[in-house]
């Protein structure tokens, strides 16, 4: 019924563990009729903000989330994006983030 209604449909999640492509595949396997551009995640919001502010982030996110940041410059970071990525939370990386 929603597809027939004059509304915009979005699937919203706060996950930071996986990229939109992986979420899309999982939802489609569950039988959802969904397109990638209908998924909005906290990573989507972070990417939008990075582009708006034109900053270069140090990405402290799970490796499976990195595809959502393709094309974003990360050399000489001047910002930090933090997601659920315990494997990246160690002294060396935290020291880099604080610098």
Q: Which domain holds residue 54?
A: 2-98
Cα-flanking dihedrals φ and ψ of residue 82, to 5°?
-115, 130
How far is 68 from 72, CA to CA, in rounded Å? 9
Per-residue model confidence as pLDDT tens digits over 48-90:
999 999 999 999 999 999 999 999 999 999 999 999 998 988 9
Q: What is the CATH number of the domain that holds 52?
A: 3.40.50
Kindly report the pTM of this predicted structure: 0.85
Mean pLDDT, rounded, for 20-46: 95
Look at residue 3 and tell me whether its pLDDT is greater than 90.
no
Domain count, the chain: 1
Q: Nearest-5° angle of CA 12, CA 97, CA 43?
A: 10
Per-residue pLDDT, 56: 97
């Amino acid at each position: 019924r929603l597809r027939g209604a004059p509304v915009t449909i979005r699937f919203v999640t706060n996950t930071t563990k996986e990229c939109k492509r992986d979420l899309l595949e999982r939802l489609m396997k569950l039988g959802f009729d969904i397109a990638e551009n209908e998924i909005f995640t906290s990573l989507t919001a972070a990417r939008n903000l990075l582009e708006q502010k034109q900053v270069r982030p140090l990405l402290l996110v799970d490796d499976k989330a990195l595809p959502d940041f393709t094309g974003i410059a990360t050399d000489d970071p001047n910002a930090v994006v933090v997601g659920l990525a315990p494997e990246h939370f160690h002294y060396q990386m935290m020291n880099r983030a604080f610098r």
